[in-house]
Amino acid sequence: MFAVRTSLRGERAGPADSLRMRNPEEIRTARELIRDGKLDEASTLLRRCLERDAANAEVWLLMAQVVRLAGDPKMALELIGTALSRQARRAEFLIEKAMILAALGRVAEARAICERGLDFDKLNFESHAALGRYHISLGQLDPAVRHLRAAIKLRPGIAETHSLLGHVLMDVGNWADAEASLQACLKLEPNHVRGLWGLGNLYRQRARTGEAIESYHRALALKPNEPSLLSNLGNTWLDLGEHEQAIACYAQALRQNPNSSVTHSNLIVALHYASVVDRNQIAAAHREWASRHARNLPRLRQRAQRPPSDGRKLRLGLVSADFRQHPVGRVAEVLCRYLDSARFDLLIYDNGTRADQTTATLQSLISNWRKIAHLSDDAAAKLIFDDGIDILADLSGHTGGHRLLVFARQPAPLQITLFAYPNTTGLETMQYRITDLDSDPPGVTDALYTETLVRLSKIAWACMPPSDAPSIPTPATGEAPFIFGCLNNPSKISAACAQVWSEILKARPDSRLMLLVRNDPEHERRLLAKFGKFGVRPEQLRFVPQTSQSGYLGYHYSIDLMLDPFPYNGGVTTWDALWMGVPVLTLAGDSYVSRQGISLLKNAGLNEFVVASGRELVERAVTMAGAGRLTERRRQEIRGRLQHSALMDYASYGNELSQVLLKLWEAP
């Protein structure tokens, strides 16, 4: 990490000196380096500038930006103070101070400074552009769009501003205007790396994967081995189910930037999808992540013995980016409704940038709702510490939007992880993981975790039914082929899955397999090739696009038997299938990620749908197809079993989890 020598400050200059630009070309270059994330190079260049001209306020401004982006807002605040001592009435300088204060969690001060800065020069391009960046840092996207549009109106020929606006418009879901902004950026500057990068991100989100890969490759040709580009390309390969290529991209990105905790998490997640990586390799990867990114972080609390609760309410914090229409949202609703409210006060720490009706429902249940997406890890940890949280629960693991580096700072004396991620976090500061006896058989999987496993008697998690779940359908009349299905994340279709499922289709050539896809010709082409390699005819595959929740649930009407992917089983997707009256055939694996299906099916009283080998899976599937299509009566029976099982006994689940948490709190 670079350091800034405060001895370079020199004497305070007068107004004339502070406005002099003795090295405008170097300052322009430094801005470009900062924009491209080359902070060490920018720091070196700016230090040279200061050695020659310690009175230049703009250099101090840029040095403050570098240090803020490097993750040291306290030092950045000191540096921007030096800049402001030389140029106190420039809006760009004041807005940079506001961004630093926001990173420190001092949001009210930041807002007041921004308002003052805009009063100085309301029609200034730099101030509008800086305010756009400030609002982005706080996750305030609508005002960010407004200021960036104002900046472009004042100076339409700046490619970077068009690129920045395009990225924000993507975040608000305005895809058409986002693409127009990014194309405007590239028209002005065809080799603008962030413009190409943003266009790749947009194409990926819009299921134009082939175009996304092309954009990423164009950007990589200009900026070879750029870690973030490689990581995004890895995400795209993972979308397509090309696990080995995704893993290779993440590994290459990490070689270039070993300190990227996000890329490292992406790599770990991808390992779960690949059928060639064993559970011990994955466990080692989690420990390596924690050793590299978390072990040496300062901790706010030590693991002191926790005092008895003495009947007081314990403050329980839930952390995730997915408190919305998402599996986490549905599990969180059970926690909010059924944990013992006499013993726990719940607080939500929301790291997401999107909200919907599920978010509104959760907010109606929980009054203490904290937005932390805009906070640094230090600031988020301090907020949790200051809130006096007793137990902090992670609902993300290494999935997108996680805040594991907040947990690494130990803001709460007791920290646990549950549900959303099918493995260990790797953290020494995460004391427990909530699981169950079937997903993690005692003595079989314990060594894979850094956490101590706490097994609930029935099921590790419970979720609410989909908010707009349709009724059980009446089967259509007339002859129709037997339909197998998989409506999981398409990335879960591993090479091993494709091979075994192909054997089923070849044994029942009159059957069909319905697969959820990304509504992307490139994805469909690759799936046809993946199954065609094992002799499956194209007409045996039926592709249905990702759609609304009601549309997704409606797909179940046509399916007679779900096939659980492996080695990465379905979770809430299996629950949904049972709710829609469709049985799920699962292959028992050797770790939680490949045993979720067992736990769900056993608790629903459907043990006959658990098999021990690929050969048995083929035989069972072929036999079931031979017995004929799924009847309405059978569908009703399966939903009934679910409704009367531990999977929907929310009161018992909430009571058991409450008792477990109380015991963990009072344990020595």
- Percent of the chain with pLDDT strictly greater than 70: 93
**β pairing state of 391-394 and 368-371:** unpaired
- For residue 33, give the 3-state DSSP assignment: helix
* Residue 304, pLDDT score: 59
Residue 171 lies in a domain: no
For 421-438, write each residue's pLDDT tens digit. 999 999 999 999 999 999
Residue 607 lies in a domain: yes
Structural domains in the chain (count):
2
For 616-636, write each residue's pLDDT tens digit. 999 999 999 999 999 999 999
Cα 339 to Cα 668: distance, rounded to the nearest angstrom: 23
Cα 475 to Cα 490: distance, rounded to the nearest angstrom: 26
Residue 131 lies in a domain: no
Residue 386 sits at the vertex; the CA angle it makes with 328 and 460, to the nearest 5 degrees, is 25
Task: Indicate the average pLDDT of the chain.
Answer: 90
The residue range of the domain holding 378 is 314-462+651-666
Cis omega before residue 567 (within 30°)?
yes
Residue 154 lies in a domain: no
Q: Residue 637: pLDDT above 90?
A: yes
Residue 604 lies in a domain: yes
What is this structure's pTM?
0.82
Q: Residue 256: pLDDT above 50?
A: yes
Structure tokens, 141: 């996207």
317 exposed, middle or buried (CB, 10 Å; 0-12, 13-18, 19+)? buried
* Residue 20, pLDDT score: 40
Say whether both 438 and 510 belong to one domain. Answer: no
Say whether both 634 and 655 belong to one domain. Answer: no
For 557-574, write each residue's pLDDT tens digit. 999 999 999 999 999 999
Residue 327 lies in a domain: yes
For 179-188, write each residue's pLDDT tens digit. 999 999 999 9
Residue 601 lies in a domain: yes
Say whether both 453 and 494 belong to one domain. Answer: no
* Residue 132, pLDDT score: 87
Say whether both 555 and 597 belong to one domain. Answer: yes
User: Residue with structure tokens 């569908």?
Assistant: 635
CA terminus-to-terminus distance, the chain? 39
* DSSP H or E stretch at residue 196: helix 193-205
* Residue 638, pLDDT score: 97
* Residue 7, pLDDT score: 35
- Per-residue pLDDT band for 51 (boundaries 50, 70, 90) equals confident
Say whether both 656 and 630 belong to one domain. Answer: no
* Residue 635, pLDDT score: 94
Say whether both 560 and 511 belong to one domain. Answer: yes
* Range with the poorest average pLDDT among 130-139, 273-282, 350-359, 613-622: 130-139
- Per-residue pLDDT band for 15 (boundaries 50, 70, 90) equals very low
Say whether both 593 and 499 belong to one domain. Answer: yes
Going by C-alpha positions, the residue among 584, 565, 543, 564 that lies closest to residue 495 is 565
Q: Residue 602: pLDDT above 90?
A: yes
Residues 103 and 377: beta-carbon distance below 8 Å: no
* Range with the poorest average pLDDT among 6-20, 227-241, 381-395, 533-547: 6-20
* Residue 120, pLDDT score: 54
**CATH code of 611's domain:** 3.40.50.2000
Segment 518-528 shows an average pLDDT of 92
Structure tokens, 475: 């089967």
Say whether both 449 and 402 belong to one domain. Answer: yes
Say whether both 549 and 570 belong to one domain. Answer: yes
Cα 340 to Cα 342: distance, rounded to the nearest angstrom: 5
- Per-residue pLDDT band for 648 (boundaries 50, 70, 90) equals very high
Structure tokens, 628: 């004929």
Say whether both 499 and 426 belong to one domain. Answer: no
Q: Residue 231: pLDDT above 60?
A: yes
585 strand-pairing partners:
563
Say whether both 501 and 439 belong to one domain. Answer: no
Residues 408 and 402: beta-carbon distance below 8 Å: no
**CATH code of 395's domain:** 3.40.50.11380
Structure tokens, 505: 């289709």
Q: Give how far Cα 59 sits from Cα of 21, 66, 110, 428, 526, Å.
A: 10, 11, 22, 41, 51
Count CB atoms within 10 A of the CB of residue 84: 19
Say whether both 453 and 516 belong to one domain. Answer: no
For 155-204, write each residue's pLDDT tens digit. 999 999 999 999 999 988 899 999 999 999 999 999 999 999 999 999 99
**CA dihedral sign of residues 607, 611, 616, 619:** positive
Segment 212-228 shows an average pLDDT of 94
Residue 272 lies in a domain: no
For 98-123, write each residue's pLDDT tens digit. 888 888 878 788 878 776 655 555 66
Those residues with Cβ within 8 angstroms of residue 459's Cβ, 6 or more apart along the chain or in another chain: 436, 599, 600, 603, 646, 647, 653
- Per-residue pLDDT band for 581 (boundaries 50, 70, 90) equals very high
- Per-residue pLDDT band for 139 (boundaries 50, 70, 90) equals confident
